[in-house]
Chain A
């Protein structure tokens, strides 16, 4: 069952990614992106990252994508249906670069995953933490002990981002 669900989510995620790249309208791209993010959240659940799946749906597919949609609507790009894919040179460059990256990844994954799995153990490294603290506590405990400085810096980063976005988007007076 989990395997079948995984393949369904993986197909939707990759199909959505293709849709993001191929669709003409920015709004359609964005809706494909939401499909990709939602099915990635499904894969997170199957990989026992329940809290991150919830955050992915609420923050990523909810807040960030609505921000994108808001900007598309604000700039009135919703009916911008002309093809905006670049010419032959950029296409060749794109396929060479992505072919190189994809080839390297396939080479690594094709040879190495059997060794990878045996080196990493059987997939129960996270079960103990989940049993002990629960789905939220398992991620909150390291977040507020070992990584508390990084967590506070994240708050600072968000503050700077808010101020920067306001300054950049403000009308020059």
Chain B
């Protein structure tokens, strides 16, 4: 089941990357980053079955970091929304020429 899991994880990671690049809604971009983290977690779990329990410990840490990242990132999105009244990243043009 290792190879199949790696294929699924690769597909989910690629879809997450595509979402980050093509979407404009900041919250959906953020969801796609979570999708990428989830794909990497799946890879860790798939390998941990063959290598040892350390992979699962690592997934535990990745989940904690993802939770912290979600809290801070959503706070940043709320704070940007207060300024621009939108979450469309094309409208965040303060540093554009």
Contact = CB atoms under 8 A, between A and B. Distances in A.
Contacts of A165: 71-72, 74-75
A30 B31 contact: yes
Interface residues of B, number: 68
A72 B59 contact: no
Interface string A46-63: 111101100110011001
Interface residues of A, number: 83
B75 A125 contact: no
A102 B10 contact: yes
Contacts of A97: 17, 21
Given A33-B35, A150-B61, A162-B71, A168 B76 contact: yes
Q: Which 10 A-B pairs have the closest CB atoms?
A: A161-B68, A94-B21, A120-B50, A168-B75, A113-B3, A21-B19, A165-B75, A105-B10, A169-B75, A84-B24
Interface of B: 1-8, 10-19, 21-25, 27-28, 30-32, 34-35, 38, 41-42, 45-54, 56-57, 59-61, 63-72, 74-79, 81-82, 87-88
